[in-house]
């Protein structure tokens, strides 16, 4: 079984994000970038499936600028077999990414596609669902456990009331949640070996996909700073403050 995993290059989760002075976007100049944490979990799950003998090949794909090669090399060091970079300088929005992912899937013919449930930069939580719809495949979102059978995959997913188990007929799209697994620490020999693994490049034009942005960002602003808390003498004063100042009663 071939597994296709999509990974995204984002601002590292340890970095405090800053907004540009003109409010046009987030400032990423000289900022540490890394693989989206949910995508890292997706790669780890694919590697575990291969180690368990349930997957024969892992292909990782990323869409974006040339620097996404670094993200793909990280995925290769984790255990992926080969990588594909859909290189473009155009701003990629979720629908465009889903269309590119469909085009790659049509070409690679995987039996399973795993993506992170969302990216930590835009928090859109759309690409996996859109890709499944475009492909016409079953989808299991927010997966906390994945169990592969001969022609099906059982996905335990997190919902508001607890856990839900869905059985999907392959091929299928699965989006990984935080509790699916804990990604492994990458050892130096694996990093060196990843440099020799194949990394192919293509473009949206080669895949026949129009990635022209459909949405326009009007303004980016930092959240308002929280004011300091106050102490009240008794419950009556607390109720008065909630009613008259906070106006929540």
pTM, entire model: 0.86
Torsion of CA 219, 222, 223, 227, to 10 degrees: -140
**Do the beta carbons of residue 165 and residue 156 sit within 8 Å?**
yes
Q: What is the pLDDT of residues 130-179, one digit of tens each?
A: 999 999 999 999 999 999 988 999 999 988 888 999 999 999 999 999 99
> Quick count: other Cβ atoms within 10 Å of Cβ 144?
16
**pLDDT tens digits for 49-95?**
999 999 999 999 999 999 999 999 999 999 999 999 999 999 999 99
Give me the pLDDT at residue 161, please: 84
Contact 172, 114 (CB under 8 A): no
Give the list of residues 6+ apart from residue 73 with CB closer than 8 angstroms, or none: 83, 191, 194, 195, 199
pLDDT at residue 249 is higher than 80: no
Mean pLDDT for all residues in the chain: 93
Q: What is the pLDDT of residues 85-144, one digit of tens each?
A: 999 999 999 999 999 999 999 999 999 999 999 999 989 999 999 999 999 999 999 999
* Other CB atoms within 10 Å distance of the CB of residue 236: 9
Query: Domain ranges in the chain?
Result: 2-245
Contact call for residues 134 and 113 (beta carbons, < 8 A):
no
Using only C-alpha atoms, the chain has a radius of gyration, in whole angstroms, of 21
* Domain 2-245, CATH number (from 3.40.50.620, 3.50.50.60, 2.40.430.10, 3.20.20.70): 3.40.50.620
Question: What string of DSSP letters covers 63-123?
Answer: EESTTHHHHHHHHHHHT-SEEEEEE--SPPPHHHHHHHHHHHHHHH--SEEEEES--TTT-
DSSP secondary structure string, 171-184? SEEEEE-GGG--PP
Q: What is the structure's pLDDT at 224?
A: 82
Sequence-separated (6 or more) residues with CB below 8 Å from residue 161: none
């Amino acid at each position: 079984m071939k597994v296709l995993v999509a990974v995204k290059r984002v601002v590292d989760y340890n970095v405090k994000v800053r907004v540009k002075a003109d409010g046009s976007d987030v400032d990423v100049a000289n900022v540490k970038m890394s693989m989206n944490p949910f995508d890292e979990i997706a790669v780890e799950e694919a590697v575990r499936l291969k180690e368990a003998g349930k997957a024969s090949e892992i292909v990782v794909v990323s869409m974006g600028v040339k620097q996404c090669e670094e993200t793909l090399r990280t995925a290769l060091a984790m255990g992926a077999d080969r990588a594909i970079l859909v290189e473009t300088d155009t701003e990629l929005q979720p629908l465009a990414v889903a269309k590119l992912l469909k085009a790659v899937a049509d070409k690679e013919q995987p039996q399973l596609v795993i993506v992170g449930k969302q990216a930590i930069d835009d928090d859109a939580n759309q690409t996996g669902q859109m890709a499944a719809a475009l492909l016409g495949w079953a989808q299991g979102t927010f997966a906390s456990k994945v169990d592969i059978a001969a022609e099906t995959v059982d996905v335990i997913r997190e919902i508001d009331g607890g856990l839900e188990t869905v059985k999907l007929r392959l091929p299928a799209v699965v989006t990984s949640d935080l509790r699916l697994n804990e990604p492994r620490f990458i050892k130096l020999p694996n990093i060196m070996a990843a440099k020799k693994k194949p990394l192919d490049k293509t473009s949206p034009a080669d895949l026949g996909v129009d990635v022209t942005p459909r949405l326009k960002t009007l303004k980016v602003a930092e959240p308002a700073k929280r004011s300091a808390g106050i102490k009240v003498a008794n419950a009556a004063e607390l109720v008065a403050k909630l009613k008259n100042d906070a106006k929540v009663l």
